[in-house]
Structure 1
Amino acid sequence: MGSEVVIFYQHYEDEEDSTLKYPTILSDNKMAASKGAGMLRNCFAKLCKSRHLELFQGSYTGKLSRDLSSIAPEAEPAPPLSIFRTTESDPAKHNQMHLGMYYTVPPEEFAVVFPQIRPNLYAQQVETFNEACIMIREPGLEIIGYLSSANYSLPATRYLIYGKKGSGKSITLNHVVHYCATQGWLTVHVPDAHLWVKNCRDMLPSTYRQGRYDQPTQAVNWLRKFRISNEKFLKEMKTQKAYTWTKSEFTEEGTFLLDVLEKVRPRSLLQGIARPRVASDIVGMLFKELKQHSLAKNVRMLVAVDGANSLWGRSVLKKEDKSLIMTEELTLIWNLRKLIRSDWSNGAIVLESSQTGSVFRRALEYLPTPLLGQEGFDAVDPFVPINVRNYSEKEFESCYMYYLERKWLQHEHVKTEAGKQELKFLCNKNPATMEKLSAFL
């Protein structure tokens, strides 16, 4: 039999001294006891400094300070752990253990992957907190799991993100875009397709197809953002056919795509007029070339469209006779519709249907069929539905603690348990509503 070591505590109470003495070690093997005494004292010191100290406070409150200082040197307190954060910033390594936690996108990656930040509430949060954090949620992990195990020799699979207003659909899409960017994919990201069907004042009749309308400003802005995110790919890919833009301008076969995008950069006044006039046609050419390069396995491509339901139905833009323009009459929308067809491989298509910014749709509608309409539903079918719900209990706690850490919640009442429960009741654990309410607290 091995040596049995027994520990007991000698406790003395008198008027002059009332302390907890060191552990007394009893053993039937004195040699083993002498060797284990130092180790046991160290374990005892660590135990007293841990959270288990609370178990002894009922009998020995205020009795241990002098003895602990003599048992082991005082160590610096460890910094508090942020249980709502993870240091893992690589989306490919996120798993179920990270659910409900925030991860920080490195600033150098964020500037390249997200040159245009959407939604607006998230953009304001990034600017205010001076960091870009994304919560790891089940819908994002589900899509990433599908992408990591998909067969890319088959036609591109469509995934449709849907959910109630403000539930975090756009942030889920951002999580997927970040994953694909870190995996070396070319990302065709349209942060808000709703902007292409409203608030456009500089429409021009198309020079390529009669009956269509170009949107030079929207096309130029999107191409500039696309170039920032994918410049390393554009330097290597070439056009596979020749294109004619005007009677005096054309692009030869074998031209680098980056050189083609140079046409949409405004020239100085000394050189003449700016060239955004052909930007809408260049977007169509770019989509066509990217599909061909993806089919040839030169690059793996992600097409991510936020507000995809705006691609079908009516717009709020008007013709010269004041009649509304249909979405298929807009050059940008027409080309984007062709891009999300599953007639190419070596990539994926992730769409998000949203009520925010949608026109001619009731605010309470969030299911795919009402938002897309019959025409849009038939166009994206088949697809993998991804439902984004409001926060779970754990996700709400993480968001609440994150706002406290960033000092976004300042009111004294909201820092109490009753205040937290009141905030939960008012926002119903809806991410967007919680963010709006927190701005006043």
Structure 2
Amino acid sequence: MLLRNLRFSCRRYSQAVTFRTIESSPKQHNEKQIGLFYTLDKDVCKQLFGHGGLPKSFTKQTKTFTETALMVRQPALDIMDCIKASDFDKPAIRYVLYGEKGAGKSLTMAHLLHYAHSEGFLIVHVPWVSEWLRRVPRHKEMSNSTSQEGFVDIPLDAAAWLLHFKMQNQNILKSSDLRISKDYEWSSREKSSAGAPLAELVELGINRVKYACDIINVLMNEIKMLSSNKFCKTFVAIDGFNSFLYPLTRLKTPTKRKVTPEEVSLTKPFMEITKNDWSNGVIVVTADQIAVPDDHQESYLPKYLLCKKGFEHLDPFVPVEVGRYTEREYLSCASYYRDRLWMRGPPELETELKLASACNPYRFMEMCAPL
């Protein structure tokens, strides 16, 4: 009885603010839905984010809530509007999401990925660059590249990414139009012939891990050509892009020498595909303070985080700031948390949490967890 009364009390508070929208298609989202949550279909969520793409703390929360719900926010709508108005015959436009820690850049990216999926884009998505360059578990395999002198390969990470790419694009890769343009020789016995399906190239990289890094390099070049020739339209999304530009990684050679990002063979193809020398595509990256290990970041602005090299590489680009919750967004999120019993207590608690969290989405989520 006590639990039933508590549920009723919490939901009575949440009914004061509308926090959900029944419009589940991101193609139909507009300013009327700003601040409202929509629920992702479980199958679509598994396809897009089954191998990464959602922050770990958010993924843990979705298991607790038994649903994956994203808030419709202005930055995502702004980029969607720009994409709809873009001339895809021109070079790919680049967008840089930026903002303070915990503002919601990765979830804005997730919303955009869902939009790209619903619009039929071929998706090239790197969930978190630092997983390759900064996080070094004991089992991480690293070897000298046999095809590029002076480079190192991280083949297991490359094969895992190809599996992620295959999962996200499982329907598009069945298209007979997506074929490779020329012959590629991997060894005296293994070759990929011109005209072979792109899916066959991806499968080779998954099954023959030692070639995975080289296959990703070829795959990016083929995708740029296929996209420019109108065989597909491509959506590139890289979270923590500035990690590619930080001077050092946590990878080390057998002689204990630290490896720079430029010496990692996986860096090159993703730097190449973020150039605007191809068309019929969209490029969205995030510049994030937590993508690099320096705890004394002076600014979250793109010019600071991307450094001179990264800024010049992406220039010109469209900067899009992801800010703290607005009043409407905060009230909507508080109502959602009450509905999920993530937050309990009297209404006055919301005012206190608003001040304590400063409307930072991540901080608000963390503070509600133990309540």
Same fold (TM over 0.5): yes
> Match for residue 211 of structure 1?
150
| 1:84 partnered with 2:19 | yes
Deviations 1:53-78 (A, max 9, x none): xxxxxxxxxxxxxxxxxxxxxxxxxx
> Matched residue of 1:291: which SS?
helix
Q: Higher mean Cα deviation, 298-307 or 235-244?
A: 235-244
Q: Is the 8 A contact 2:180 2:198 kept in 1?
A: yes
Tell me how far apart the structure 2 counterparts of residues 282 and 82 of structure 1 sit (CA, whole Å): 50
> Matched residue of 2:362: which SS?
helix
> Match for residue 126 of structure 2?
190
> Match for residue 189 of structure 2?
248
Structure 1 segment 48-197 matched on structure 2, within 5 A: 83-115=18-50, 116-197=52-133
- Which of these residues, 313, 330, 333, is aligned with residue 264 of structure 2? 330
Deviations 1:209-253 (A, max 9, x none): 110011111111111111011122222211111111123321111
Q: Give the residue type in structure 2 aligned to 1:202.
A: E
> Match for residue 286 of structure 2?
352
> Matched residue of 1:285: which SS?
helix
Structure 1 pair 357–312 and aligned structure 2 pair: CA distance change class (3 A): closer
Structure 1 pair 184–244 and aligned structure 2 pair: CA distance change class (3 A): same
Q: Is the 8 A contact 2:53 2:128 kept in 1?
A: no
Q: Give the residue type in structure 2 aligned to 1:384.
A: V
Tell me how far apart the structure 1 counterparts of residues 188 and 249 of structure 2 sit (CA, whole Å): 31
Cα displacement (A) at 1:364: 4.8
Tell me how far apart the structure 2 counterparts of residues 137 and 376 of structure 1 sit (CA, whole Å): 27
Q: Is the 8 A contact 1:160 1:351 kept in 2?
A: yes
Identity of aligned residues (%): 35
Unaligned runs of 5+ in 2: 1-14
Q: Give the residue type in structure 2 aligned to 1:440.
A: P
| 1:419 partnered with 2:349 | yes
Cα displacement (A) at 1:105: 1.1
Q: Is the 8 A contact 2:242 2:291 kept in 1?
A: no
Q: Is the 8 A contact 1:390 1:430 kept in 2?
A: yes
Structure 1 pair 197–87 and aligned structure 2 pair: CA distance change class (3 A): same
| 1:400 partnered with 2:334 | yes
Tell me how far apart the structure 2 counterparts of residues 360 and 321 of structure 1 sit (CA, whole Å): 25
Deviations 1:346-377 (A, max 9, x none): 01100111112423463453111221111111
Cα displacement (A) at 1:408: 0.9
Deviations 1:258-291 (A, max 9, x none): 122222344xxxxxxxx21111111111111111
TM-align CA RMSD:
1.6
Tell me how far apart the structure 2 counterparts of residues 184 and 100 of structure 1 sit (CA, whole Å): 26
Tell me how far apart the structure 2 counterparts of residues 369 and 277 of structure 1 sit (CA, whole Å): 37
Q: Give the residue type in structure 2 aligned to 1:233.
A: I
Tell me how far apart the structure 2 counterparts of residues 265 and 389 of structure 1 sit (CA, whole Å): 38
Q: Is the 8 A contact 2:19 2:336 kept in 1?
A: yes
User: RCO (CA 8 Å, sep 6+): is it higher in 1 or 2?
Assistant: 2
Deviations 1:122-181 (A, max 9, x none): 111222111111101110110000001100000000000000000001111111111111
Cα displacement (A) at 1:424: 1.0
| Bigger Rg, structure 1 or 2 | 1
> Match for residue 429 of structure 1?
359
Q: Count matched residues.
A: 351
> Matched residue of 1:317: which SS?
coil
Tell me how far apart the structure 2 counterparts of residues 354 and 262 of structure 1 sit (CA, whole Å): 32
Q: Give the residue type in structure 2 aligned to 1:369.
A: K
Structure 1 segment 174-323 matched on structure 2, within 5 A: 174-200=110-136, 201-236=140-175, 237-266=178-207, 275-313=208-246, 314-323=248-257
Q: TM-score, normalised by structure 2?
A: 0.91
Cα displacement (A) at 1:81: 8.4
Q: TM-score, normalised by structure 1?
A: 0.77
Q: Is the 8 A contact 2:162 2:206 kept in 1?
A: no
Q: Is the 8 A contact 1:155 1:345 kept in 2?
A: yes
> Matched residue of 1:395: which SS?
helix
Q: Is the 8 A contact 1:196 1:333 kept in 2?
A: no
Structure 1 pair 130–345 and aligned structure 2 pair: CA distance change class (3 A): same
Tell me how far apart the structure 2 counterparts of residues 202 and 213 of structure 1 sit (CA, whole Å): 10
Q: Give the residue type in structure 2 aligned to 1:187.
A: I
Q: Give the residue type in structure 2 aligned to 1:437.
A: M
Q: Give the residue type in structure 1 aligned to 2:145.
A: S
Q: Give the residue type in structure 1 aligned to 2:257.
A: S
> Matched residue of 1:398: which SS?
helix
Q: Is the 8 A contact 1:117 1:123 kept in 2?
A: no
Cα displacement (A) at 1:409: 1.4
